[in-house]
A and B are shown apart, each in its own frame.
Chain A
């Protein structure tokens, strides 16, 4: 087809704008909802509409991730914004009958307020959504991610048009520097500064790279952006390419994200077809070629120099800096690498200006940040908030508080490079500076809520196991150091901890942080250090009392029934798979220790808190006391 001009872009926007206000049934097509059957829901909705002869009134659209994953599969009725949750394919005909034909609401599938249990119809009245401030996620769930016209209808590619046709590279860099946008991938380096260094670097060939190798366990921000709005990533890259003078770029995506790869590939093909990529984009004379490079699964490849080695077809091992990638990066040529979310922020900055961007957030941490809120909160999913609001607001208001019957213990931020923040620090604002003071990092945005069922020592062991396994092996402090720390932690969790272990861990952590080559090693001890800092008593109980408070470490716990609390409801006895819980109905139960395998089934089943966890040798201690 003919290449698009700026007039053509305006025509498409006008033509498709009206579509967004027509009747549309937006079925969430994020990975979570697809797993819940949203593809079948879409088919069933379409079939029912056809059956009733009203296909022309409503179109069914498969969107990207809506964010409210815990309540999926989701359905949003546009333009009114009526929100249905936990849909099943069998619900589709009833929904059409009630909502579309009869004009009523299908109450049982509406969102229920976490406190009052009252139904909430409109998406904008649900606290999970209305407390968020969208930036990078602004198009999520409201456009069809596989349709470039819809992206253009919501001002898509107008940022690129402005950058390519009206701005010089220096002006673009100045605007982005002015916004104080910091890299959203983890380290928080100022994006504009990185671009400036690369723009000034000498070289005919430069590269623009997008980091979609989201390896943090417990994080899925980039995945959702790539799935819900792939074109925004391309547009951000076009603008960056113009700023630094690159004509070739790669998007590095994890192979574990097949849907993201497919949608990006489709987006690139559409953009090529419209002349928004390739030669002479929008008649500006600027060329850019973009390719997708599927990663092969290595956490360290999130580190920029390692990622570049991986694109070169080698083992993903980092190399020392300087020279910085902005001077010598991929194939030894000047390269800029930014994270998916960083690129997703760029088009709005160019369109609306740096001041608009700075109007949200704080002075040093500007704009908004996407977090993946998971764990023991009521409302888990993907959220975008302005910097500066408190962690408590995120947990209590957006997250809807803790799951019923659970008590907050810690908030883990930043994955294996981050740390755990305890209850007493929940009121600090979310900014790069304030989070670092706690020992954690903002990181890429994984936010996991822990409750009293989680053992902090075991959690530290989990993260260190991850880092030790993912260490590339190039430098000794990281390769050997993380392994030695891990072995200490495994011993502590197994009940073989010794006096002095905590000090040894702190000592090792210090060495690894100082001496490691790249970010992986420099931050790997953070989960251990923060848990020691805030939950030292748990470490001490593991080592001295052989007691895991949460009953997670099997060698360090004894489950017993508190007779004063037991109502004899038999829930625990029914949950026990090995027949260790005995007792008659309405009478207090007890646990036969010889049979107990410490699977926690009874602990989880008890609604009265009568099953408790004691130290490993609590009964032998009692016997000792009796003997005396």
Chain B
């Protein structure tokens, strides 16, 4: 079969017996005695299955599994331990693993469990896109935001604002994490995200171009500015240019009516914009 299996255990005897049993079944088995070595191997090679002990010095199996789940979601993980107390069992199952193997084990138990684990289908592609979305931002900072507001009543909007500032937008996967952390239904999070115009579920361009459609700007032909920019950028309102440089939005009055009509690019404000030459604003940013 030639499937690659990584065994992580601080006890070399366990590694050797796994090699003996699984090697005979046609698996390619690699064994390491610490989570640290395992991590560097997983980063460089693709394994069909990782079998890890739970109780190990320095980085234990729980940490390792968490790390794999966060960074290598496409890797199957199975845990084994000699301390099969109920508490350990509960913690281990909560970690999103495929199977749990109590030590010591008979050779046929191991083979059966590994075969079953290997035939488990990989996670759906949706999880992959979640991962891609999730990879672009600072996880530690996001966790810090969640931690800070976990017990504050009514903190949802503030959490969403800070998260959007960090990530740039609020993808569905992030909304799920926020819901879980604040212990409220995902539907409630989405209800708030979709209600307020400040929140967006789509990524923004490097420069977000906003055309003010307040009354003062409107009576000074802001709609023509919008048309001109749509034409120049080749996108509609709420869309992003192909090169990812600009996104185009409208805004309901930014309160700079003395300058009407107004266009904002990122944090820069442009006043008294002439509809005919509105496209020239963008040139500074290209």
Identify the A interface with B (CB < 8 A). 31-32, 34-36, 68-70, 72, 214-220, 223, 255-258, 293-299, 310-316, 331, 372, 374-376, 380-382, 412, 415, 446, 448, 450, 454, 459, 462-463, 466, 470, 472, 577, 599, 601
Contact = CB atoms under 8 A, between A and B. Distances in A.
B193 to A, nearest CB: 9
A446 B198 CA distance: 23
- Contact residues on B (Cβ < 8 Å of other chain), bracket: 35 or more
B257 to A, nearest CB: 4
A218 B257 contact: yes
A592 to B, nearest CB: 20
Contacts of A214: 255
Given A374-B215, A459-B219, A462-B215, A69 B259 contact: yes
A215 B258 contact: no
Which 9 residue pairs are nearest across A and B when measured between Cβ atoms? A69-B258, A218-B215, A220-B255, A217-B214, A35-B269, A296-B196, A313-B154, A374-B216, A313-B156
A34 B268 CA distance: 9
A1 B273 CA distance: 48
Interface string B120-135: 0000000000000000
Given A35-B256, A35-B269, 11 more contacts: A35-B268, A36-B259, A36-B271, A217-B215, A217-B218, A220-B256, A297-B198, A313-B154, A313-B157, A381-B258, A448-B216
Contacts of B260: 374
10 contacts: A32-B259, A35-B268, A218-B214, A218-B216, A257-B255, A296-B196, A311-B154, A315-B192, A454-B219, A599-B224
Contacts of A311: 154
B213 interface: yes
Contacts of A314: 154, 156, 188, 192
Contact of A255 (B161, B215, B219): B161
A299 B252 contact: yes
A374 B198 CA distance: 25
B219 A376 contact: yes
B255 A35 contact: no
B276 interface: yes
B251 A256 contact: yes
A462 B218 contact: yes
Nearest to B258: A69
Interface string B174-196: 00000000000000100110011
Contacts of B215: 217-218, 374-375, 412, 415, 446, 448, 462-463
A223 to B, nearest CB: 4
Contacts of B191: 315
Contacts of B220: 375
A456 B100 CA distance: 73
Contacts of A316: 195-196
B157 to A, nearest CB: 5
B169 interface: no
Contacts of A68: 258
A336 to B, nearest CB: 19
A577 B276 contact: yes
Given A32-B271, A217-B213, A374-B257, A448 B219 contact: yes
A127 to B, nearest CB: 17
Nearest to A459: B219
A294 B220 CA distance: 29
B276 A310 contact: no
A217 B251 CA distance: 10
B197 A69 contact: no
A286 B80 CA distance: 61
A599 to B, nearest CB: 7
B257 A31 contact: no
A526 to B, nearest CB: 14
Nearest to A224: B255
A69 B257 CA distance: 8
A230 B255 CA distance: 17
A68 B259 CA distance: 11
A446 B257 CA distance: 10
Contacts of A462: 215, 218
Nearest to A472: B195
Contact of B258 (A255, A310, A374): A374
A472 B196 CA distance: 10
A293 B153 CA distance: 14
Contact of A215 (B253, B259, B270): B253
Contacts of B39: none
B254 interface: yes
A217 B219 contact: no
User: Which of B199, B220, B258 neighbours the largest number of chain A CB atoms within 10 Å of its CB?
Assistant: B258
B219 A372 contact: no
Contact of A298 (B195, B255, B269): B195
Interface in B221-269: 224, 251-260, 267-269
A472 B195 CA distance: 8
Nearest to B194: A315
